[in-house]
Amino acid sequence: MDYVEQRMAQEAAKPAGGASDSLFTPLNLALLGLFLYTTYTLLLKPSPPAALPKEEPAIVFRTFTPRTLLPYNGENNMPVYLAVRGRVFDVTRGRNFYGPGGPYANFAGRDASRGLACGSFDEEMLTKDLDGPLDTLADLGRDEMEALQGWEDRFSEKYLVVGKLLPVGEEDKA
């Protein structure tokens, strides 16, 4: 018997289940499991419905008085607004600066004009009487007004104007 005949005889002598024995090795079973799992997760698993992006609240230009501006100080999840020379800026994206605990939190919800002009965070820079007249800044010098202009320019580039600050009694005259 030559070699080929010998091999054929050997193959023929193998038990009928021989082929399937070699197919179900632990490795093949593991691969099959992996294949089934991947197919299930990629194709068959129901995917959760796509969440619609949350709509930004509409920005409405409105009038504020020092008192109605006050709640916009970033507390209780409120946006952060501040006023500069009668213009109310939404500085919420600068929450790190103006939000609770931020270095400039004293300006949040307030007329920040005098504090920015004078480079001061003192309480007395803020309008005390929330129902009184607005700060006219009439006593400030040129340097202070220039500094204020610088801040205003920066805010105009960075933040949206969402309203106008008016004294109590004049809010309807916007």
Footprint of ligand HEM (CB under 6 A): 91, 94, 97, 104, 115-116, 119-121, 158
Nearer to ligand HEM, 145 or 168 (CB): 145
| Residues facing residue 161 across a β-bridge | 89
Nearer to ligand HEM, 71 or 102 (CB): 102
Nearer to ligand HEM, 82 or 134 (CB): 82
**Cβ neighbours around 102 below 10 Å, total:** 16
Q: Which DSSP symbol is given to 41?
A: I
Nearer to ligand HEM, 64 or 155 (CB): 155
Distance CA 166, CA 174 (A): 8
Write down the least CB distance from residue 123 to ligand HEM, Å. Answer: 13
Write down the least CB distance from residue 107 to ligand HEM, Å. Answer: 7
Write down the least CB distance from residue 59 to ligand HEM, Å. Answer: 18
Distance CA 162, CA 69 (A): 11
Residue 146 phi, psi dihedral angles, 5° rounding:
-70, -40
Distance CA 123, CA 97 (A): 17
Write down the least CB distance from residue 155 to ligand HEM, Å. Answer: 7
